[in-house]
Amino acid sequence: MYNLLKGKRGIIFGALDENSIAWKTAERVHEEGGVFVLTNAPVAMRMGTIDQLAEKTGSVVIPADATNVEDLEKLVLQAMDILGGKIDFVLHSIGMSVNVRKGNHYTDMNYDFTTKGWDVSALSFHKVLQVLYKKDAMNEWGSIVALTYMAAQRVFPNYNDMADNKAYLESIARSFGYFFGKEKKVRVNTISQSPTPTTAGQGVKGFDGFIAFSDKMSPLGNATALECADYTVAMFSDLTRKVTLQNLYNDGGFSNTGVSQEVVDAFEK
């Protein structure tokens, strides 16, 4: 390990169980010397095993609903109090579609479900950024990362309204990132990860087939949750101080591959 985050403090949203990217990121941040608080919605915490992660990393868990500004304000103030100062890094790893869970087709959505999923998956990121900004909670040259997926740019039919949510999430990162960078020297980026067998990812119809396809399409193969965690650590570190407003692909080259020989071979059989 390289002590890339020694002396740095942060907040990690969305760790649910050992399969989640936020969980792997927390482990890697801990290994690189960073300290942090963990947070998730109370309902999600009941589904997962976040307390085990907290014990392993010596962290405090603060329940918070990321769609509730009052909860976020309390979270940020408590985090600074517990960690002893302003924040250096934040990971937003939150996503949920009620329409996907209920099996509603994109052409026949329940709009109340759509609004809920949009609030949890995308607008929550604006709320997190706004609270951090108004509370002046971030140190200069701090780093904020949100996880996304390239369905924000391309059609993946079964990804449903989560594609819209991710497109909005990425726009928020650019728009709010401009002001955070200009006025507070804080960088804001999104990481577009390979399809990953997390709890949320496995809820997408046809996921197993698609993850296999993606692996065959990617020159380097799919990026794992741990490899995404490594990339996130690099983005939190001082080695990437001038990287901001970017959507960064961590997908083994999938995003720039038109077709691979493996896929051609499969169709020619």
Mean pLDDT for the stretch of residues 179-202: 89
Token pair recorded at residue 115: 């609004």
**Is 178 in the active site?**
no
Q: Measured between alpha carbons, how far apart are the two ends of the chain, in Å?
A: 46
The domains of the chain are located at 9-268
At 86-130, the pLDDT tens digits run 999 999 999 999 999 999 999 999 999 999 999 999 999 999 999
Is residue 183 within 8 Å of residue 132, measured between CB atoms? Answer: no
Q: Is 159 a catalytic residue?
A: yes
Per annotation, catalytic residue among 106, 149, 168, 249: 149
Of 216, 123, 207, the closest CA to residue 160 belongs to: 207
pTM: 0.96
CA distance 87 to 186: 11
Binding site feature residues = 14, 20-21, 94, 166
Paired residues of 89 in beta bridges: 10, 143
* Mean pLDDT in residue range 10-19: 95
Percent of the chain whose predicted confidence (pLDDT) is above 90: 88
Level-2 CATH architecture, domain 9-268: 3-Layer(aba) Sandwich (3.40)
Could you list the residues known to form a binding site for NAD(+), using ranges. 14, 20-21, 94, 166
CB-facing half-sphere around the CA of 95: CA atoms within 13 A = 28
Task: Give tens-digit pLDDT for 116-126.
Answer: 999 999 999 99
- Which listed residue (159, 178, 231, 249) is catalytic? 159
What percent of the chain shows pLDDT beyond 70?
Answer: 97
Rounded CA-CA distance 265/234 in Å is 36
pLDDT at 207 over 90: no
Dihedral-angle region of residue 58 (phi above 0 means left; psi in -120 to 50 means alpha; beta otherwise): left
